[in-house]
Homo-oligomer: A and B are copies of this chain.
Amino acid sequence: MIELDPARDAPLYEQLYTALADEIRTGQRKPGQALPGRRTMAAQLGVSVNTVDTAYQMLAAEGLAEARPRSGFYVQKTYGMLHSRTVRPVPPAPAAPAGPLPRYDLSTGSVDTGLFPARSWGRLQRDLLYQRPELLQRGEMQGDAPLRAQIAAYLSAYRGVDCTPEQIVVGAGIEYLLGCLAHLFAGQTAAVENPGYTRTRTVLQNNGIPCVLVDIDRDGLPADALEQSGAGLCYLTPSHHFPTGVTMPAPRRAQLLAWATARPGRYILEDDYDSEFRYDTRPLPSLQGMAGPDGPVVYLTTFSKSLAPGIRIACMVLPQSLLPRYRRDFAAYANTVSRFEQQTLCEFMAGGYFARHLARMRLVYKRRMETFAAALRGALPGVRLQRVHSGLHFLLTLPGAGGEEAMVRTAAREGVRLRGLREYYLARPELCPPDTVVAGYAALQEEDIPAVAAALARAWVR
């Protein structure tokens, strides 16, 4: 029996509504069943007819009950039917790594954010919040113009990218930008590097672009194999192939550009994901710069590694030939990056913070790589380290340690998390060089390096 309490905060009609709604939801009142007449109910509960009527109207308004003219209120027929659907328990979100967290993480995604100038970033951002209220309003679809100008200047100076700010599109991560590109390239097939980024293939396929795998050779993706693949689109990491670390030499770049220019509609997607970090010579300029502002290259890069993974800013440079269609088809879209973060990055670049931060990180990572490499060579007799001079990871080969899988397993047992090179082969794993793992050192603290080397020695050296 329903109890109403005038002493409670909620008005009586609300209390009645809630009680009846519960009875309907729990099935105590069946679909199609009549609710008591308003007078009857009012008398039973000792409340006014208005109170009951309001509660009934609320039930009707919410689709729990329906009013039938000259007849009264009935529990909504379709309601029970809908709720009779068996409600499966929600599967928990997939937990990150299985088992206990590793003491030392050598996986490639990680970045050392301990040196991020959070105070400068925070001050710039706060000032914008207080002084630039107009940033609360919607901004430009491709990203705010001042930020695009900063990015264009930076990419031209550091990456040899040849473009104007009008060609730049700022977006909340490479996945989102690849999704936009997938629309522009609908109907095409994309060649992706094997081994390579699983993620890229997933994103392209999720967006309706079928992918064919092309095996790389020692110079990266071969132009003749690309030609034979029949693909019209090609995803590349020429500056620093993921995960093998190969830097594509100039002649191979020229061949691939020749492939792209040989037929209209062919394009190369150049992912320049971690080219900021190269320690021997100055990095090779981008393929995009070689191809020119209307060349057949879409340049993609992210700030996740140069700033922090938690700040979601990436960008792409569209060839002039793709701009009109992009602008037509995406005119209704709002940009996906908060304007405060766009403008904070803009000031961060304009104020020279970004260049200083990058220069600093380059030194830190270089020293870290050198210390780590030395420690590994000391602890692991016969170890071979490849492609140490760029990016934030290198290849580690150690014959006689039981093979790749055993190396990963025994390292994990010693608290070191890393992945085997074979895991990055999307096909034909037999092409994978043996006894090789991928060692990312970006998040590795210098003081931990001896311990990591020792742990790997315990794991791998008999």
- Known interface pairs A82-B291, A203-B332, A290-B82. Does A138 touch B61 (Cβ–Cβ under 8 Å)? no
Q: A91-B327, A295-B82 are in contact. Are A136 and B116 (CB under 8 A)?
A: yes
**A263 beta carbon closer than 8 Å to chain B:** no
Please choose the segment from A33-41, A117-125, A348-356, A395-403 that sits at the chain B interface, where 4 or more of its residues have CB less than 8 A away. A117-125
Q: Which of B250, B293, B310 contacts A63 (CB 8 A)?
A: B250
Digit string of A290-314 for contact with B (CB within 8 Å is 1, else 0)?
A: 1111110000000010001111100
- Known A-B contacts A81-B258, A258-B78, A320-B87; the reply to A166 vs B92 at CB < 8 A is yes
The reply to whether the CB of A335 lies closer than 8 angstroms to some CB of chain B is yes
Q: Is A417 an interface residue (CB 8 A)?
A: no
| Given known A-B contacts A140-B93, A202-B329, A334 and B312 have beta carbons under 8 A apart | yes
Asked if A415 lies at the interface with its beta carbon under 8 angstroms from chain B, I say: no
In the complex, which residues 40-93 of chain A have their Cβ closer than 8 Å to any Cβ of chain B?
A: 60-63, 66, 76-79, 81-83, 85-93
Among residues of B, the one whose C-beta sits closest to the C-beta of A321 is B88
Q: Any chain B CB within 8 A of the CB of A97?
A: no
Taking residues whose C-beta sits less than 8 angstroms from the other chain, chain A's interface range is 35 or more
Distance in Å from the Cβ of A13 to the closest Cβ of chain B?
Answer: 12
Per the bound structure, the CA–CA distance linking A186 and B205 in Å amounts to 12
* Complex alpha-carbon distance, A408 and B100, angstroms: 65
Q: Do A129 and B137 contact each other (CB < 8 Å), given the known contacts A295-B82, A312-B336, A341-B341?
A: no
- A331 CB-CB contact with B under 8 Å: yes
Complex contact B175–A172 (CB within 8 A):
no
Q: A172-B337, A179-B179 are in contact. Are A261 and B137 (CB under 8 A)?
A: no
Most buried by B among A79, A110, A142, A250: A250
Name A76's contact: one of B60, B130, B250 (CB within 8 Å): B250
Interface centre among A130, A138, A284 (most CB of B within 10 A): A138
Asked if A222 CB lies within 8 Å of chain B CBs, one says no
Query: Given the complex of chains A and B, what is the CA–CA distance between A446 and B83 in angstroms?
Result: 46
Q: How far is the CA of A87 from the CA of B284 in the complex (A)?
A: 23
A63-B336 Cα distance, complex, nearest whole Å: 35
Q: At the interface, yes or no: A386 with Cβ under 8 Å from chain B? A: no
Q: Given A93-B166, A173-B334, are A290 and B109 neighbors across the interface (CB < 8 Å)?
A: no
Q: Point out the residue from B121, B172, B176, B208 that lies within 8 Å of A208, measured CB to CB.
A: B208
Contact present for B251 and A308 (CB under 8 Å):
no
Q: Hey, which bits of chain A sit against chain B, CB under 8 A?
A: 60-63, 66, 76-79, 81-83, 85-94, 109-111, 113-114, 116, 118-119, 121-122, 125-126, 129-130, 133, 135-142, 145, 160, 164, 166-167, 172-173, 175-176, 179, 183, 186, 198-199, 202-203, 206-208, 250-251, 253-255, 257-258, 261, 281, 284-285, 290-295, 304, 308-312, 320-321, 323-324, 327, 329-341
User: What are 17 A-B interface contacts by the 8 Å CB criterion?
Assistant: A61-B284, A82-B290, A85-B261, A86-B294, A90-B167, A92-B166, A110-B137, A118-B136, A121-B129, A126-B126, A137-B308, A137-B309, A172-B172, A173-B333, A176-B336, A183-B207, A199-B332
